[in-house]
Amino acid sequence: MKMIKVGMIGFGTIGAGVAKILAGNGEIIRHRLGAGVELVKVADLDITTDRGVKLAPDVLTTSADEVINHPDIDVVIELIGGYEPARKFLLQAIDQGKHVVTANKALLAKHGDEIFSAAAKKSLSIGFEASIGGAIPIIRSIREAFVANRIKSIEGIVNGTANYILSKMSDENCDFDTALKEAQEKGFAEADPTFDIEGIDSAHKIAVLTRLAYGTPVPFDDITVTGISGITSEDIECARVFGYRIKLLAISKFDGQAIDIRVHPAMIPIAHSMANVNGALNAIRICDDMMEENVLIGHGAGALPTGSAVVGDVVEIARNILSGVGERLPAGSFQDKEVKKIPFKSISEIESEYFLRFSVLDNPGVLSKISGILGKHSISIESMIQRGRGDRGEGVPLVMMCHKSSEKNIQSALKEIEALDVVCEKSNLIRVER
């Protein structure tokens, strides 16, 4: 039986998942592919830790070069994450004529164009399904299933760690640190959890999806990113009272002229299709001109879900190899010459509904001062709650939902409100998405 030979650089959580899947599900893969997939070399700096899967002693190496330059290897899987040396290894593997598979969204968000074009020049495939949404087939959906559709928006819960934390805080009144620790123990978190909590991992993912959806280069630094570290139990409780859940959303909307791309915590109504996507689950909602909305939900992180997406890419490449075709479709979804720069909106150009939380003195006239400033900036209040009673001169929370307003007006109003001497702490703003 023909064997497709695979090498892997990085034997951490996902790498171990890939090895387990190839060992445990080798037979079903052979039955579907008509050939076998053999892991012939695995490189990692640490080859002594037990990863719960047995590999032949000559498979493990500490040298990535042994994978990249191995004459029999058809496909190189990169699972070390980060920018360097991952970028160097991928480019070297492509240079050696190897197809490549990666789960590295950070690298693709910043250097995707360079890697895509290096692979295209050699008619080699690059699989990166595992880079976004773990087991959710979002790359395949955009590049293949929705190939005829004009995408209008993508909104996603694309970070399992952040979703796990927010869900725990909402459902179990759990504090932030306990929830983060559990997410890390379960293997969802990035090496540096700041990327998960501060929205950077979600921004990497929405940058890649935007490139695929609209055929534009995406300047990563133009994405407005706010993480979940400013979300308090108070916000979560107020969201519940108003009939919303708070989710970290990655958003990319194209109105035909410009793209609105951002990552931030958002209030979504309890009836929203993603409001009950909890724990480490991910969800991605796509709206286009052919279907109102399509929501894909699944496991966005973890060894086996993400590992299965990696193996899915390997098998797709194996099919190309077996049928003698090079890369069938452009890595970035659009033909290279059709990739055109689309303008990006700055956050001050967007409009949204807003949740505002102030900490104010519980004195006569405070509400009228605040509502007066909002009114002056054309911001209309939809509903409002004041919690507690501040008869000892300390701040009480005053929260409001505002009708659709311009971000520019909201920011100017907040600046004015925060300068009032009745305001005790920095206010919080959460955008509402429907």
Catalytically active residues are 205
Residue 198 contacts ligand HSE per CB under 6 A: no
**196 SS3 class:** helix
Q: What CA–CA distance (Å, rounded) separates 96 from 100?
A: 11
Work out whether 249 is an interface residue with ligand HSE (CB under 6 A): no
Reading the block at residue 8, the tokens are 């892997």
| Residue 196 touches ligand HSE, criterion: CB under 6 A | yes
Nearer to ligand HSE, 160 or 332 (CB): 160
Q: Which residues contact 252 (CB under 8 A, 6 or more apart)?
A: 153, 154, 155, 206, 209, 210, 213, 214, 259, 260, 261
Q: Given the rule CB under 6 A, which of 156-164, 286-294, 345-353, 398-406 is the region that contacts ligand HSE?
A: 156-164
Question: Which string of b and e fits 325-336 if b means at least 16 CB within 10 Å?
Answer: eebeebbbbbee
**What string of DSSP letters covers 327-370?**
--S-TTSS-GGG--PPPB--GGG-EEEEEEEEEEE--TTHHHHH
Nearer to ligand HSE, 82 or 326 (CB): 82
Q: Does position 17 bind ligand HSE by CB under 6 A?
A: no
Provide the CB-side half-sphere exposure for 112 (13 A, CA).
31
Nearer residue to ligand HSE within complex by CB, 134 or 397: 134
**Binding of residue 161 to ligand HSE (CB under 6 A):** yes
Question: How many residues in the shown chain lie near ligand HSE by CB under 6 A?
Answer: 11
Q: Are 165 and 197 in contact (CB under 8 A)?
A: yes
Binds ligand HSE (CB under 6 A): choice among 146, 188, 242, 354 = 188
Does 160 help bind ligand HSE (rule: CB under 6 A)? yes
C-alpha torsion angle, residues 86, 89, 91, 97 (rounded to 10): -140
Site string for ligand HSE, 131-150 (x = CB under 6 A): ---x----------------
Contact flag: residue 13 with ligand HSE (CB under 6 A): no
Q: Which is nearer to ligand HSE, 105 or 357 (CB)?
A: 105
Which span sits near ligand HSE by CB under 6 A: 145-153, 170-178, 185-193, 314-322? 185-193
| Candidates 155-163, 263-271, 363-371, 389-397; binding stretch for ligand HSE (CB under 6 A) | 155-163
The letter for the amino acid at 336 is: D
Does position 316 interact with ligand HSE (CB under 6 A)? The reply is no
Name the region of 154 (left: φ>0; alpha: ψ -120 to 50; beta: rest): beta
Q: Which residues bind ligand HSE (CB under 6 A)?
A: 134, 159-161, 188-190, 196, 201, 300-301
